[in-house]
Structure 1
Amino acid sequence: MAMAVTAPTASTMSIASVTLEVADPDAAHRFYTAFGVDTRLRLRASEAPSTGFRGFTLALTVSGPATVDGFLGAAVEAGATVVKPAAKSLWGYGGVVQAPDGTIWKVATSAKKDTGPATGEIDEIVLLLGVGDVKAAKRFYVGRGLTVARSFGGKYAEFASDESSPVKLALYKRSGLAKDLGVPADGAGSHRIVLGSTAGPFTDPDGFAWETAA
């Protein structure tokens, strides 16, 4: 598998906001507050049809297994459904849940053992977009001004982000992302996510919508 690494440099575009479109914003706000990510997201009402896998996941990276369990437990207690129970893997420890609004969340750590108590702190949030062609999508976003931080052939690409961005953006082949999450890859309709950027509005080749952040 080919691997190319590009050092992060200043980009001309960054993610300024992440908006989830939900049927009930008040209920979603209660859930995300209990989950501990309410300050990283925006919510707005939408009845746009959406079935099956919406093509993306939001992933929390945290310090250790106890913190993973804490976030997953809070999510389930607030109404999330377990998609993949927390377990050790080759890469660390993690699990997957689906929020009541349909958004799939992964919580993971590279650590396989705890070195201290659960912290309740998020090290990083990564938005993984499931795309049909990682190389083509990467070229599209580079053309929009993003800088590639890491790239693994046609399987994965991650972009550099600045401190003001609420999340880091990455691309994953849609079928591979669905397999990693433990869900069928089929899905249709709205992605139910809109990204705000420092650039003008546009839609990427896989139908993910961006708008100018207020």
Structure 2
Amino acid sequence: MTSIAAITLDVADPTAADRFHTDAFGLDTRIRLRASAPAEPTGFRGFVLALTVSQPATVDSLVASALAAGATVLKPAAKSLWGYGGVVQAPDGTIWKVATSAKKNTGPATRDIDEMVLLLGVTDVVASKRFYVDQGFTVGKSFGRVYVEFAAGDSPVKLALYRRRALAKDVGVSPEGSGSHRLTLTGDTGAAAFTDPDGFPWEAATPLPTN
């Protein structure tokens, strides 16, 4: 079963971005960073990194630490039909959503992250689902032409597909955008590199050396 082995973000200042991820969310090992030219793509990059936590107090704690680390608010943390959550944008431009399905707190706030999901905004959910299944991914949840979630296996990051316009609306930005996604994904099967139907590039994981 294929899954995400690594996520690499192209950023102008890797040191500053690493500090943000550590200070905001404690994610010093889940994200790789690669120095790139400072020129930014225009508009929505087509993806969101989502953190699922156990209760609203933890959402508030992580959003507050992200803002203290330099993020800006796209959607203030608030109750919704599905639970409680907020959306921020990191100084490097990456959009982060922090949410919980719980609507009430059951204890003091923590900084524990239950799940990290990479949401890719795609033009055609059905076609992209078929593409990823052909690459060896296993569907975990599927809601027609709206949303698909793949099994994570041993990966610390789950992959999901969402209609681009719906994803942009969910995080409070315009769906329009052009240029590089500034995101590279690494698969864990050793297969050849590929690019998905919406231009998200994948590279093969380097096989571990054998003794």
Q: Is the structural similarity TM-score above 0.5? A: yes
1:162 Cα offset (Å): 1.1
- For 2:75, the equivalent position in structure 1 comes to 84
- For 1:15, the equivalent position in structure 2 comes to 4
Residue identity matched to 2:94? T
Query: Residues of 2 paired with 1:118 and 1:49: CA distance?
Result: 35
Query: Residues of 2 paired with 1:57 and 1:49: CA distance?
Result: 16
**Structure 2 runs not aligned, ≥5 long:** 207-211
Does structure 2 conserve the Cα–Cα contact (< 8 Å) formed by 1:18 and 1:166? Answer: no
1:75 Cα offset (Å): 0.3
The alignment status of 1:58 with 2:49, answered yes or no, reads yes
> After the TM superposition, which of the residue ranges 30-39 and 66-75 deviates more from structure 2?
30-39
- For 1:182, the equivalent position in structure 2 comes to 172
For the residue of structure 2 that corresponds to 1:39, the secondary structure is coil
1:37 Cα offset (Å): 1.5
Deviations 1:137-183 (A, max 9, x none): 000000000011111010000001112x1200000000000000010
Residue identity matched to 2:183? I
> After the TM superposition, which of the residue ranges 153-162 and 194-203 deviates more from structure 2?
194-203
- For 1:100, the equivalent position in structure 2 comes to 91
Does structure 2 conserve the Cα–Cα contact (< 8 Å) formed by 1:58 and 1:104? Answer: yes
Deviations 1:113-156 (A, max 9, x none): 00001121000000000000000000000000001111101000
Query: Residues of 2 paired with 1:73 and 1:195: CA distance?
Result: 28
Query: Residues of 2 paired with 1:16 and 1:68: CA distance?
Result: 26
For the residue of structure 1 that corresponds to 2:29, the secondary structure is helix
Structure-1-length-normalised TM-score? 0.92
Deviations 1:162-213 (A, max 9, x none): 12x1200000000000000010000000101100112321100100011112
Q: Please, which of 185, 190, 195 is the counterpart of residue 185 of structure 2? A: 195
RMSD over aligned Cα, in angstroms? Answer: 0.9
Query: Residues of 2 paired with 1:52 and 1:207: CA distance?
Result: 16
Larger RCO, structures 1/2 (Cα 8 Å, 6+ apart) = 1
Number of residue equivalences: 202
Does structure 2 conserve the Cα–Cα contact (< 8 Å) formed by 1:58 and 1:106? Answer: yes
1:49 Cα offset (Å): 4.3
Q: Runs ≥4 in structure 1, deviation > 2 angstroms?
A: none
Residue identity matched to 2:13? D
